[in-house]
Structure 1
Amino acid sequence: MKGFILAGTTSGVGKTVATLAAIRALSKAGYTVQPAKAGPDFIDPSHHAAVAGQASRTLDPWLCGEEGMARNYYRGEGDLCVVEGMMGLYDGDTSTARIAESLDLPVVLVCDASAGMESVAASALGFQEYAAHAGIDIDVAGIVAQRAHGGRHEEGIREALPDSLSYFGRVPPTEELEIPERHLGLHMGGESPIDLAALDEAAAHLKGEKFAEVARAPPRPDPEEPRPATGKRIAVARDSAFCFRYPATIERLQERGEVVPFSPVRGDALPDCDGVYLPGGYPELHAAALADSPALETLAERASEGLPVFGECGGMMALSESLTTLEGNTYGMAGVLPADIEMHERYRALDHAELRAREDTLSARAGESLRGHEFHYSSAEVDPDARFAFNVERGTGIDGEHDGLTEYRTLGTYVHVHAESGAFDRFCEAL
């Protein structure tokens, strides 16, 4: 499957809208589009899925390793893969540029053209030439002019570009293309879907066939060894409170067992199961519903009986004793883990993270290292005798030094991990 990356000059330049418009332009040209996202994000991929009609793949060498990242790319299906970059093209130690180099994908640069013409071309040329300075072997093929008007404005940008940079079109400045934001980033795609009529209008100004012409196929990785099914039933929380799930994670759980979804927010009962996975999400926005959830009440009973339960970030918050919202309201949670959670105005952690297991646990064996990602606005006040499964080697974790709060056979972490880490294989084998 051929693909390309839409990378930004900076964060906030409009990569997500440009990506969605490119997906629509290619779809209207008759291509089946597989979306993907560079980096560990959950929110942008939800918008990709809403527009493309299929789940967005996660491409992050820290989470997956380079071989795992290539495997995840080729788990996608379609004629073309449209990858949205993260931050600015060269930002971070696992930057979009490094991902483009690893996968040998061409880069189309999304430039803010709202207040420039020749200067837009100068900036793009600088981004193209910086690759050699940074020692990164990538092909910056051209630009999308974000927030550019038509007529003389567009013509001036196009004429100023050197021959080495192609013009892939523009995204006009349209209020209907703005996606609402909140803590953790944009609203999810299912909550605030972008106006499709406005998106189609933007797509009409992009050159779909030019994207297709520049796309390349990454080298194929070696095939994986098949993993045996366990025959176990795994209950997975899935609703607006538990919406941060990598597609590869659910695929891995389905490969190893039978996945049974349930919604604590809607009042579902906990299904009959051999283990429970609570993904991250926004439990703070649904704290009242979770406090009354029969599933969490049953989960507390089953956890005390030894049922394996794995909660990541928002899942850990729901497993705690209590959750205090920004408004100062405190709600009782499942009460499995000895911690009280409090929300804050500013984020408390944002980075790739690395954990090392202090003991055998649901997601790793003693001494094993797990790489993941953390991004949360809450803090956890834990009991003095709380037990932790991991030492933090990079990142913040729960208290700056430890992560993986554990009780019975329940594990709660602030760090999200990907299926390529092996954590979910370990979880399935522990059931």
Structure 2
Amino acid sequence: QLLAVPAGPRGSPVSVVSWMKGNKKQPREAKASFEVVARGTVPPLRPAEARAASPETAADDDFDGPASKRARTRDLPGWNLAAVTFEVFPDRFATLPAAKKSVRRGEVRVSGEIRRGDYRPVPGEDIAIVARVSSGKPLDVSDLPEDLPGLEVAHEDAHFAVVVKPEGVNTVGDARGGWTCERMLPYFLAPTVGVEGALVRPRPVHRLDALTGGLLVVAKTRLAATSLSEAFASRRVTKRYRAVLCGTPAEPKAVVEHDEEGDTAGAVAAGLKLGVIDAPMEGKQCVSHWRVVRDAPDASMRHGRLTLVDMWPKTGRTHQLRRHAAGALGCPILGDARYNPKHSPEDDVDGLFLRAVEVTLPPSATPWRFGDGNAVDDGDRTKYLRVKVDDPAKFSARVPQA
């Protein structure tokens, strides 16, 4: 039985025994569990000359569909493990590279043994796919440094979560070896149990600047990592930021007239007047939408008036909103020492006044939430998932409501 297979030091079922010899205390990754999720039998090799008579390939010499590619893999010299995996499990692997990746991860077993990519299966042998179905146990929050700000969980299910990243904390890898949001996730999120493709630990699918706090989307399973990453890459995810600007921006010269399918569709439908900033950066298109929420006199007397705004990035350039605010609007974000030439040490007390306050995910980004076959239909606005948080107290303190 290939159940509850322990993971290696990198979350893989490979080389567990050799690794444990030199490690008496197992880390969290070693507690993740694996199970057999698919079984099959290695088919017999087909003579090379039989390929010409194959119904998948004989019909059309120019045909290059999945059936044709799958048929050709059976004629490869040696009938290697990746080709066999691709052939036996057509519903799990759409391409041969996907099967090769599964072999490299140590997920393919032949007759109960983990096999490498150079193994040549014998026809009739049993072949199975082993996948992680549970992540490790959550870590104890009390083990975190006392001065480290905690994470708030705004939304969570077995596949993904949306957390509130503290400002001043990097999203991922800190070159100095310090704490990052990614490193903190196992301390605050529930483990994924009984779900195929569970990740050893949660992983962010996008990033926020270190100085920017707010909503951060993280994946807990392989399915979530793929679908969410694709949604962010194709700009199908709506992100709304709230910022406090130094000064009063001029009336927008260009406004959003119609945006039924875009990032700001909800705001336009509500009759809000949204300005458009179209200012390329490094020769690349860079677009943001924005609107004024309210303004108030600056109690510190350093900036005249302060303006609370909503901003929607339509593209994803580095420091896009900060640069658009300072450049195109002529009103830098309060606390931005990098892009505000009039920044003073007094402005550093409360940090940067920029926060990701709302994220809206299309159905195709979270397909596990649906069972009616319409999960990929992004045209149904009722199936969008919206997560939002309130403004930080420091925002209303500097720009109070009238």
Question: TM-score higher than 0.5 here?
Answer: no
Instruction: Give the number of the structure whose alpha-carbon radius of gyration is greater.
Output: 2
| TM interval, short-chain normalised | under 0.3
Highest RCO, 1 vs 2 (Cα 8 Å, sep ≥ 6): 1
Greater percentage in helix: 1
TM-score, normalised to structure 1's length?
0.21
